[in-house]
């Protein structure tokens, strides 16, 4: 495929997108406004399912199957990146002392905020059904919190506190937990991801049926996958030194 | 409220321009984090706290960190190559 053919294909595709956008955009309601048919239906459904956080209700109850698809995409992309940044046979791993100077204040701030951040992440996951946040947000907060150790200049400690083999297991376990809730819904209530648990009272911690359970599963999966993702990058940047033959380096330069 | 949204969007516009027109990649990574933070304010102004939380965690921490580590790795590779020639 020559560049010219590729360019023509691109232009054809772009023209199609532009035409469709130009016909669709005038039909959109104005920015802001007071009529929101989707909101009205989603809020009503969320209320009926005793889920105080309507967004959580949409994500984990009204269209939970889509969320399952999104989780799978996340896990798949993390696996792809992990495969890309893995250590090649000709790359050597070198225990490298962390260079650079870490300010004492940074070190202290990292030490103080580490437990707080992980706790906040856990809190955001648990209260996903009643306050803003949920599995994805809380998992990301907790996973980034652990990396405060790296900012505080304690990469060795981070390596010790971060059993990567365990996180590979918990990543899969989070996805499996989501799947288990989905299949149980099918078995108990006759449809995949049906909200089969008692829904309790609106705004209580244990309300909204399966939403907190799904949030927890997603939280575990997301936290594990972000830790694995950053671990791959840290490993490449700090510990792996590429000693490759010059011919390969020249091949790369030529490509 | 409209005023707040307009201000937030203008800031995002300026932030995006800064990220695009910065030459140094390391500085770009830092500006990307700032840009991510500006987007958080847009989502908050539009009353979407869930989205704002996601953006805060991913857009201001995870993505800039990955970019920075990648830059560091690439510059180390370049150094190695220079040393061996």
Task: Report whether pLDDT(A251) > 50.
Answer: no
Task: Report whether pLDDT(A255) > 50.
Answer: no
Instruction: Give the Cβ contact number of residue A103 at 10 Å.
Output: 10
Interface test with A, best of B5, B57, B61, B83 (most A CBs within 10 A): B57
d(CA A166, CA A201): 36
Domain locations along chain B: 1-84
**What is the average per-residue pLDDT within B5-30?**
91
Dihedral pair phi/psi, residue A86, rounded to 5°: -65, 160
pLDDT tens digit sequence for B31-43: 999 999 999 999 9
Q: Which of B53, B62, B80 sits opposite A226 (nearest CB)?
A: B62
Contact B50/A230, CB-based, under 8 Å?
no
pLDDT tens digit sequence for A5-34: 999 999 999 999 999 999 999 988 877 778
Q: What's the whole-model pTM score?
A: 0.80
Taking contacts as CB-CB distances below 8 angstroms, the residues of chain B near A215 are: none
Interface test with B, best of A132, A146, A219, A245 (most B CBs within 10 A): A132
Q: pLDDT band at A128, cuts 50/70/90?
A: confident
Domain locations along chain A: 41-81+102-240
pLDDT tens digit sequence for A138-159: 999 999 888 888 877 777 777 7
Chain A to chain B Cβ contacts (< 8 Å): 59
HEC-encoded secondary structure of chain A: CCHHHHHHHHHHHHHHHHHHHHHHHHHCCCCCCCCCHHHHHHHHHHHHCCCCCHHHHHHHHHCHHHHHHHHHHHHHHHHHHHHHHCCCCCEEECCCCCCCCCCHHHHHHHHHHHHHHHHHHHHHHHCCCCCCCCHHHHHHHHHHHHCHHHHCCCHHHHHHCCCHHHHHHHHHHHHHHHHHHHHHHHHHHCCCCCCCCCCCCCCCCCCCCCHHHHHHHHHHHHHHHHHHHHHHHHHHHHHEEECCCHHHHHHHHHC
Task: Report whether pLDDT(A250) > 50.
Answer: no
Which residue of chain B comes nearest to A117, CA vs CA? Answer: B57
Q: How far is CA A238 from CA A95, A126, A235, B61, B85, in A?
A: 9, 34, 5, 18, 23
């Amino acid at each position: 495929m020559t560049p010219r053919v590729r360019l023509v294909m691109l232009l054809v595709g772009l023209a199609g997108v532009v035409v469709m956008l130009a016909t669709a955009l005038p039909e959109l309601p104005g920015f802001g406004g007071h009529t929101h048919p989707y909101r009205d239906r989603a809020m009503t459904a969320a209320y009926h399912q005793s889920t105080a956080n309507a967004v959580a209700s949409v994500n984990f109850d009204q269209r939970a199957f889509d969320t399952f698809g999104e989780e799978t995409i996340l896990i798949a992309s993390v696996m792809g990146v992990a495969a890309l940044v893995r250590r090649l046979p000709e790359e050597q791993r070198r225990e490298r002392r962390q260079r650079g100077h870490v300010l004492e204040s940074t070190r202290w701030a990292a030490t103080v905020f580490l437990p707080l951040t992980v706790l906040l992440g856990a809190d955001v996951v648990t209260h996903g059904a009643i306050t803003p946040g949920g599995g994805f947000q809380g998992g990301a907060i907790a996973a980034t919190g652990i990396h405060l150790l790296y900012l505080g200049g304690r990469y060795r400690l981070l390596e010790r506190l971060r059993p990567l083999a365990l996180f590979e297991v918990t990543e899969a376990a989070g996805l499996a937990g989501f799947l288990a809730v989905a299949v149980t819904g099918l078995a108990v209530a006759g449809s995949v991801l049906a909200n089969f648990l008692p829904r309790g009272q609106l705004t209580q911690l244990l309300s909204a049926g399966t939403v907190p359970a799904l949030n927890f599963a997603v939280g575990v999966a997301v936290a594990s996958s972000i830790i694995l993702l950053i671990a791959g990058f840290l490993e490449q940047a700090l510990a792996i030194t590429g000693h490759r033959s010059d011919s390969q380096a020249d091949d790369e330069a030529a490509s | 409220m409209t005023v707040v949204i307009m201000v937030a969007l203008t800031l995002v516009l300026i932030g995006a321009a800064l990220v695009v027109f910065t030459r140094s990649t390391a500085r770009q990574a830092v500006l990307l984090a700032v840009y991510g933070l500006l987007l958080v304010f847009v989502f908050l102004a539009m009353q979407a706290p869930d989205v704002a939380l996601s953006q805060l965690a991913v857009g201001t921490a995870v993505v800039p960190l990955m970019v920075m580590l990648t830059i560091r790795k690439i510059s180390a590779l370049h150094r190695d190559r220079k040393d061996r020639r």
